[in-house]
A and B are shown apart, each in its own frame.
Chain A
Amino acid sequence: MSNLLKKVNWMTLLIPIVSVILGLLCGAVIMLIIGYNPVLAYQSIIESIFLQPYYGGETIRAMIPLVLAGIAVAFAFRTGLFNIGVEGQLLVGWFASVACAICFGHLPKVILLPMSIIAGGAAGALWGFIPGILKARFKVHEVISTIMMNYIALYTTAYLIKNFLYTEGERTPTIPAAASLASTFLANLTQGSRLHWGFVVAIIAVFAMWFILWKTTKGYELRAVGFSPDASKYAGMNVSRNIMLSLTISGIFAGLGGAMEGLGTYQYMTINSAFTGIGFNGIAVALLGLNTPVGVVLSGALFAGLQTGGLTMQSDAGVPVELIQIIIALIIFFVGSGYVIKWAFGRLSRKGHK
């Protein structure tokens, strides 16, 4: 498994690490300016995540869809595609899994649970395949079409819930226990957090990304096409088919992320009037994780930790939880300007020579 990290050299590893440090430092400066105590704030985050089982459990729970969304973005990116549509794929996956669970509620758990998970993945796949075919056949750029698909997903799922699966509270009914990923065992272990078995699915997805891309002939092809469509075409590969396949697989990961929310965290789906944000955070997770499987897990943990710990930060240090989003945005900003960090380090080490 050593080659889980094989595409990374130390200089590139430097950028995410430095970015995180700079992001946290800038966050601290902002807190000081508004008059809060940053030491207390960070302390409360760390203490809650690592010392209070409830927050620990919630962190892992929040990681599950984030990691799946991150894997979806990273997978597409490794094959030369920008999947901005993770949010929409996640929504349709969420809906499909919940709908499947409710419609086939009479089936036993061994059938219903896998079937509902697969339904989520399949819906995500479809939502990835459509931009894939648009790009392959009609050269529609995937950034445009996936953004459009996000809106279609948002309003379609809302419409379907309202008209076919509506119950009080602007949501679907709760799914039957036979389709649920929730677990009293995990909940007791973490003093009542919503941690559920979905983390197993996330781990499998992380492994799958690595396995598909670096161990299979299809993955070889997908990466080749991503790096150089021209050379791949000359070598006899079918570039269009690979584009469709890549976005479809990416959509599966995203759809599974939605299914985890539907079958695990919430046990139902609400009528969303706005995006969940998980899909977009997935882009950040992939970026910070250098689009590697292990990196996605690490940066997913960081973001999930910040978000969950942010709640204690608010109650213990009085810092508004919105600051967490600012810190996350700052980290992304620094990763994005990674070139500047590289350049600055280059200058520094060169000065050392003279």
Chain B
Amino acid sequence: MSYAIEMRNIRKEFPGIVANDDITLQVQEGEIHALFGENGAGKSTLMNVLFGLYQPDQGEIYVHGKKEFINDPNDAARLGIGMVHQHFMLIDKFTVAENIILGREPKKHGALDMAKAVKIVKELSERYGLDVDPNKKVEDITVGMQQRVEILKTLYRGSDILIFDEPTAVLTPLEIKELIEIMKRLVGEGKSIILITHKLKEIFESCDRCTVIRRGKNIDTVAISDTNPSDLASMMVGRKVNIQVNNAPYDPKEKVLEIEHLNVLDSRKVDVIKDLNLTVHGGEILGIAGVDGNGQTELIEAIAGLRKVKDGSIKINNDDVTNQKTRKIIEAGLGYIPEDRQKHGLVLDFSVGENMVLQTYYKKPYAQAGILHNKVITKKAKQLIQEFDVRTPSEKTLARSLSGGNQQKVIVAREVDRSPQLLIAAQPTRGLDIGAIEFIHGKLIEEKKKGKAVLLVSFELDEILHLSDRIAVIYEGHIIDIVNPKETDENELGLLMAGRKKGGNEA
């Protein structure tokens, strides 16, 4: 029997690093095949080779048993291979339908037939249960919906082999559940799927087999029914991992962040934060739980001075920072791990070293009298790369060429190392492997032990429950309840997040 995809002995080198070293991947027809490995192991690279974005230095690719040369994504599309990238490739200003048909537009008398495009998109979305609005602009829809647009794009092109590169990293738990349903429906129709994810739970819920790679090398391919999560995890890292770091005891100090009667408008001038009150103390990790789109992003942006506060006040260490300039708020003691690492957290065309001092480049010891001390910056960067295990050939490498997880580590390293009075961590472990998550959790707990205040925003309820000393549930722009993580569980949180106060009545 032939494989849907067989990649034999693939090798791919980048300057200073061998990303894929003799990797073999065999995907059976009609299966969901997981690709599992640490940050920077070479998963995205291998898939980009299959998709024709990179040319392998060595190795062969067979599609449905036939040897093929995939020179570019057009070749891949012709062979029925579609890919949803780790970082989306949609055009913000285009509508959903325009994005989907781009490159294969339906035509009438030689001109673009938009009505037909919308109809095709509607049909596709109904057929696969992927709910999208064809006429909305991409910049106005949630990441979850962008994800569905990416999937529809590949389906529109008639792909029967689908590559999903960490699709779940940006999704909420509910959306993940839906995505798994969709994937099962797709293999039911005879399509084959390669799924990259760092979440073991998803692999065990959806996949048939799993290939593990470590530092560019093949480790093994196993059937999911023959293995268990902890085995898979140790196979990935090459040693035993303890998945949970022990939290430190709760010892709150004075107030660091004080928000009173906050009101904020979103970009469409609609109230998103309504009369929100919140306090975070030193020596405390306060978790914010909530369904995406309930004002989390706007709340953080308001604290950081990136969004105008309509009403109310924000104080950091008793300093009123309401509507202050971002630089001033940073100097008042704010550190911020933003949700969108590529857009907000990094200057992708700067080197890793330059990115490590993005807020501090003008201060001693990195600069004096307006002149950069590049040697000091390099030294700092080297130290952080080592300490946070950022997998990069050197500090001179452009941030753009790092793997997704390693980009995230650069941001976390920079923010945690500054040890700010108030650290806002939005999805701090998004896209990180199990080992790195454990490490970052340790770092956040360390900050708390130092007496710093940590505001944690995450869609991972596990993460919130495990790290937080208090959990504030945000719903439609205000905090509807604050709960003790020791006295609650995912079910209760889920209800609160849906707007139901304890006791079962609507909030």
Q: State the Cβ distance, B402 to closest chain A Cβ, in Å.
A: 15
With A215-B371, A215-B374, A224-B354 already in contact, 20 other A-B pairs whose C-beta atoms are closer than 8 Å? A214-B372, A216-B370, A218-B370, A219-B372, A220-B354, A220-B372, A223-B350, A224-B347, A227-B348, A227-B349, A228-B346, A228-B348, A233-B306, A234-B306, A234-B336, A236-B329, A236-B331, A236-B359, A238-B327, A350-B55
Identify which of A230, A346, A350 contacts B343 (C-beta below 8 A): A230
A 196-231 binary contact with B (CB < 8 Å = 1; else 0) = 000000000000000000111111110110011011
Chain A positions 166 through 199: 1 when the CB is less than 8 Å from some CB of chain B, otherwise 0: 0000000000000000000000000000000000
Interface centre among A214, A220, A224, A354 (most CB of B within 10 A): A220
Task: Name 24 A/B residue pairs within 8 A (Cβ), A-sorted.
Answer: A215-B372, A216-B372, A217-B370, A217-B372, A219-B372, A220-B354, A220-B361, A220-B362, A220-B372, A224-B347, A224-B354, A227-B347, A227-B349, A228-B343, A231-B346, A231-B358, A232-B347, A234-B326, A234-B336, A234-B345, A236-B328, A236-B359, A346-B55, A350-B55
Let me know if B348 and A217 touch, CB within 8 A: no
**Which single member of A218, A231, A236 contacts B330 (CB below 8 Å)?**
A236
- In angstroms, Cα B81 to Cα A207, docked, is 50
Tell whether A237 is near chain B: CB-to-CB under 8 Å.
yes
Find chain A residues with CB under 8 A from B325 CB: 236, 238
B502 CB to closest chain A CB (Å) equals 37
* B338 interface residue per 8 A CB criterion: yes
The 9 A-B pairs with the shortest beta carbon distances in the complex, nearest first, are: A236-B327, A236-B326, A217-B362, A235-B358, A227-B349, A234-B344, A228-B347, A236-B330, A217-B367
B361 and A234 within 8 A (CB)? no
Contacts A216-B370, A224-B350 known; A231 to B343 CB distance under 8 Å? Answer: yes
Give the chain B neighbours of A218 by CB distance below 8 A.
370
**8 Å CB interface, B379-419 against A:** none
List the B residue with the shortest CB-CB distance to A347: B71
Chain B residues in 8 Å Cβ range of A350:
55, 71
Known A-B contacts A223-B350, A227-B348, A228-B349; A235 and B359 likewise in contact (beta carbons under 8 Å): yes
The interface residues of chain A lying within 8 Å CB-to-CB of B358 are 224, 231, 235
Q: Is B304 an interface residue when CB atoms closer than 8 A count as contact?
A: yes
Q: How long is the Cα–Cα vector from A71 to B95 in the complex, in angstroms?
A: 39
Query: Do A231 and B349 touch (CB < 8 A)?
Result: no
Tell me the smallest distance from the CB of B345 to a CB of chain A, in Å. 7
Contact-residue bracket for chain B: 20 to 34
Cα A238 to Cα B367 with chains together (Å): 18
Complex: chain B residue closest to A6, CB-CB? B396
Does B350 lie within 8 Å of A227, measured CB to CB?
A: yes
> What are the interface flags for B59-85 relative to A under an 8 Å C-beta threshold, 1 for contact and 0 otherwise?
000000000010100000000000000
Q: From B304, which residue of chain A is reached at the shortest CB distance?
A: A234
Among residues of B, the one whose C-beta sits closest to the C-beta of A211 is B371
Contact B349 A216 (CB under 8 A): no
Give A227 to B343 CA distance when docked, in angstroms.
Answer: 11
Q: Which residue of chain A is the closest to B58 with respect to CB atoms? A: A353
CB distance from A292 to the nearest CB of B (A): 15
List A residues at the B interface (Cβ < 8 Å): 214-221, 223-224, 227-228, 230-238, 346, 350, 354
B336: chain A residues at CB < 8 Å are 234
The A interface, classified by DSSP as helix, strand, loop or mixed, is: helix
Q: How far is the CA of A216 from the CA of B331 in the complex (A)?
A: 20
Q: What's the nearest-Cβ distance from chain A to residue B364, in Å?
A: 11
- Distance A63 CA – B461 CA, assembled complex (angstroms): 64
Closest to B330 in A: A236
Residue of B nearest to A220 (CB): B361
Residues of A within 8 A of B372 (CB): 214-217, 219-220
Report Cα–Cα, A237/B361, bound state, in Å.
11
A230 cross-chain contacts in B, Cβ below 8 A: 343-344
Contacts of A238 in B (CB 8 A): 325, 327
- Minimum CB distance partner of B56 in chain A: A353
Rounded to whole angstroms, the CA-CA distance of A225 and B152 in the bound complex is 34
Cα-based distance from A340 to B343 in the complex (angstroms) = 29
Chain B 315-332 residues near chain A, CB threshold 8 A? 325-331
Give A144 to B1 CA distance when docked, in angstroms. Answer: 62
Chain B residue at smallest Cβ distance from A350: B55
Assembly CA distance A227 to B400 (angstroms) = 12
User: Which chain B residue has the least Cβ–Cβ distance from A343?
Assistant: B72
Q: CB-CB < 8 A to A219: which residues of B?
A: 372
Quote the shortest CB–CB distance from B70 to chain A (angstroms): 12
| Residues on the B chain within 8 Å of A217, using CB | 361-362, 367, 370-372
Residues of A within 8 A of B344 (CB): 230-231, 234
Closest chain A residue, CB of each to CB of B305: A236
Query: How far, in Å, is A348 (CB) from chain B's closest CB?
Result: 13
Q: How far is the CB of A246 from chain B (nearest CB, A)?
A: 15
Bound state CA distance, A352 and B149, in angstroms? 39
A237 and B348 form a contact (CB under 8 A)? no
The CA of A234 and the CA of B307, in the complex, are separated in Å by: 11
State A318–B183 Cα separation when bound (angstroms): 72
- Neighbouring A residues of B346 by C-beta, 8 Å: 228, 231
B349 CB contacts on chain A under 8 angstroms = 227-228
Chain A hits for B367, CB < 8 A: 217
Q: Which residue of A lies closest to B362 (CB)?
A: A217
Considering only CB atoms, which chain A residue lies closest to B414 in the complex? A235
Q: How far is the CA of A237 from the CA of B344 in the complex (A)?
A: 12
**Once bound together, how far apart are the Cα atoms of A223 and B354, in whole Å?**
11
CA distance A230 to B336 in the complex (A): 14
**Inter-chain contacts of A231 with B (CB < 8 A):** 343-347, 358
Q: With both chains docked as a complex, state the minimum distance between the C-beta of A346 and any C-beta of chain B, in angstroms.
A: 8
Rounded to whole angstroms, the CA-CA distance of A223 and B55 in the bound complex is 31
Q: Compute how far the CA of A66 lies from the CA of B55 in the bound complex, rounded to whole angstroms.
A: 41
In angstroms, Cα B369 to Cα A218, docked, is: 11
Q: CA A89 – CA B290 in complex, angstroms?
A: 54
Give A25 to B325 CA distance when docked, in angstroms: 56
Q: Find the B residue at minimum CB distance from A235.
A: B358
Q: What is the bound-complex CA distance between A236 and B330, given in angstroms?
A: 7
**In-complex Cβ contact of A233 among B55, B326, B331, B348 (8 A):** B326
CB distance from A116 to the nearest CB of B (A): 28
Q: How far does the alpha carbon of A223 sit from the alpha carbon of B359 in the complex, in Å? A: 14
Within 8 A of A (CB), among B154-204: none
Which chain A residues lie closer than 8 Å to B331 at the CB level?
236
Whether A216 touches B371, Cβ cut-off 8 Å, given contacts A234-B336, A236-B330, A236-B359, is yes
B residues less than 8 Å from A236 (CB atoms) = 325-331, 359
Which of A228, A232, A237 neighbours the largest number of chain B CB atoms within 10 Å of its CB?
A: A228
B424 to chain A, nearest CB (A): 11
Least CB distance, A343 to chain B, in whole angstroms: 9
Kindly state the separation between the CA atoms of A237 and B371 in the bound complex, as whole angstroms: 17
| Least Cβ–Cβ distance between B14 and chain A, in angstroms | 12
